Amino acid sequence: MIGVGGVSRFYLEAIRASPSLSLAAVCDTDERRVEPFARSGEVRAYGDAAQLVADEAVDAVVLDTPVGTHVPLARAALEAGKHVCCEKPLALTRRDAQQLLGTADEAGRTLFTAFHRRYNRHLPTPESLAGRCLARVETRYYENIEEHSDDAGWYTSTAAEGGGCIVDNGPNAFDAVRHLFGGMSVGEVDVARSPQGVDLRATVSGTVGDGAEAIIRLDWAFEGECKDLRAEWDDGSKTDVDFLDGFGEFKSSLAHEYAALMADFASHVRTGRRDDAGLAAAAWLEDVLECADASGT
């Protein structure tokens, strides 16, 4: 595992609980984060990603690092013959994502992007919604970023470095919509930025499926936390999903999501299934960021 800050504890718990996965090595440029692993002798601990990637005992790499490092680290791991599970978003442009998928194909390795919300126990399966005619879907991703970012300064950097609500929360919201209803086009983007140029609030509108309206609302200055999805059908009925229902503790919904996510990654590795979700999100992000730059305040 490269990067042991942020949500790494959920990855680590999922790996340790899995019957098919075992933790071989960890890496972080912050010595304080790898020191407990080095002291315990549980696994090999590195301060340089190149050393971990060169470790012949490592079959697969999980990247839980700042967004700006995803492309070079994923490329290096794939070229070294490792399977890769990369925290979302895989990349900020479709070109970078396509090139990484090409590298994975050439290496005969799995490149998998981690969208944990699609594994939430409240989200219906696409099969359960088959045959229904969607009229509108809206998803909200609201939180106070100061409560969520720990000590990771890149969260509140510019979008080019992986910061802002669009880059951080947008991919999960987009993937939940895409997982259920297919890709979302980008129509308009309304964005509000901090004086430092960080995206704090955004509303992305577009369409999915046969032209159903799709709205994604993001907010980093929300008092509390709200993460939900509502589908409205042509017969007037609604399907509501509250991703946080029943999870009273901060981030407590993530444990079951990452457990299922890592099981799916292992399945992709075993079967050789190709994962295009990261490319779809990168293309959407590129379009959204272009629109946001044109309309940002």
Between CA 179 and CA 128 the distance in angstroms is: 12
DSSP 174: H
**Contact, 51 vs 70, CB < 8 A?**
no
Residues 205-224 have a mean pLDDT of 95
Tell me the pLDDT tens digit for each residue of 47-60. Answer: 999 999 999 999 99
Tell me the pLDDT tens digit for each residue of 1-38. Answer: 999 988 999 999 999 999 999 999 999 999 999 999 99
> Looking at 134-148, 169-183, 215-229, 264-278, which range is the least confident one?
134-148
Between CA 238 and CA 250 the distance in angstroms is: 28
pLDDT at 270 over 60: yes
What is the structure's pLDDT at 153? 60
Between CA 59 and CA 258 the distance in angstroms is: 19
* Domain range summary for the chain, segments of one domain joined by +: 8-116, 117-243+275-295
Pairing relationship of beta strands 212-219 and 221-233 according to DSSP bridges? unpaired
Residues 79-89 have a mean pLDDT of 98
Tokens of 234: 């042509």
Tell me the pLDDT tens digit for each residue of 97-120. Answer: 999 999 999 999 999 999 999 999
Per-chain mean pLDDT for the chain: 93
Instruction: Determine the CATH number of domain 117-243+275-295.
Output: 3.30.360.10
- Determine the distance from the C-alpha atom of residue 231 to the mean position of all C-alpha atoms in its chain, rounded to a whole number: 22
Tokens of 224: 């509390």
Q: Which phi and psi (to 5°) does residue 151 adopt?
A: -110, 20
Between CA 230 and CA 42 the distance in angstroms is: 44
Percentage of residues of the chain with pLDDT beyond 90: 86
- Determine the distance from the C-alpha atom of residue 184 to the mean position of all C-alpha atoms in its chain, rounded to a whole number: 16
Tokens of 252: 């407590």
What is the structure's pLDDT at 181? 97
Which residues are registered as beta bridge partners of 228? 140, 242
What is the structure's pLDDT at 63? 98
Q: Going by CATH, does the domain composed of 8-116 fall within 3.40.50.720?
A: yes
Structure confidence at residue 293 as a pLDDT band (50, 70, 90): confident
What is the structure's pLDDT at 73? 98
The sign of the torsion formed by the CA atoms of 23, 27, 33, 37 equals positive
Tell me the pLDDT tens digit for each residue of 164-209. Answer: 999 999 999 999 999 999 999 999 999 999 888 889 999 999 999 9
0.75 cut: is pTM over it? yes
Which residues are registered as beta bridge partners of 84? 61, 111
Nearest of 222, 136, 219 to residue 180 by alpha carbon: 136
